[in-house]
Structure formats: structure tokens, C-alpha cells
Amino acid sequence: MIRHCVFVRFRSDIPDAERSAIYLQLADLKNVIEGFLAIAYGPNVSPEGLHQGFTDGFIIDFVDETARDAYLVHPDHKAAGAVS
């Protein structure tokens, strides 16, 4: 299994509803990419103050590197990343 962890600094002009839409767009790739196992996402709520400006994040589990690599080059993944 491969666990892909991403920490995000959304632009300040991106509202919460659009952030949720981006995460849902990524989650929909589970139905498209073979080996996409699970996704978890949301705001950084740690009280430690170590966020370095990363306000959100997501974790995607893939069955292997091949599945992860297919996700990384998928056009819907690239489109979601271009928004933040």
C-alpha cells in the first residue's frame, strides 16, 4: 500500500464550498483509477501551531505505486491542483 499525503495552502479567495468541491472531485477519482483505495481530507485543526501555513490536507491510499502514478497524471487531479 502507498499512502499519499498532501498539505495545502488554499488561496484566501477560495471559499469553503469550493474547497469541498475540490476534495469531492479528488474523491470521485476512486471510481476511475484502479487501485485507489480511500481518501480522507479536511482542515488542519492541530493546536500545536506547527502548520507552517498549511490550512488543509488530504491523504489517499493506493494499492501500489502504479495506482498512485496513474492518479498523479490524471487530468482531473491536475485540474483540482490548479485551483488551490
Per-residue pLDDT of 54-73, as tens digits, reads 989 999 999 999 999 999 99
Report which residue type is found at 81. G
CATH class of the structural domain 2-83: alpha beta
Q: What is the pLDDT of residues 11-57, one digit of tens each?
A: 888 898 999 888 898 898 899 899 999 999 999 888 888 888 898 99
Query: Which cell goes with 3?
Result: 499512502
Query: Which cell goes with 46?
Result: 492541530
Q: How many angstroms separate the CA atoms of 64 and 66, rounded?
A: 5
What are the residue boundaries of the structural domains of the chain, listed by start?
2-83
Q: How many angstroms separate the CA atoms of 35 and 30, rounded?
A: 8
Query: Which cell goes with 47?
Result: 493546536
- Give start and end residues of each alpha helix (H) in 1-84: 16-28, 65-73, 75-83
Higher pLDDT, 78 or 20: 20
DSSP 31: G
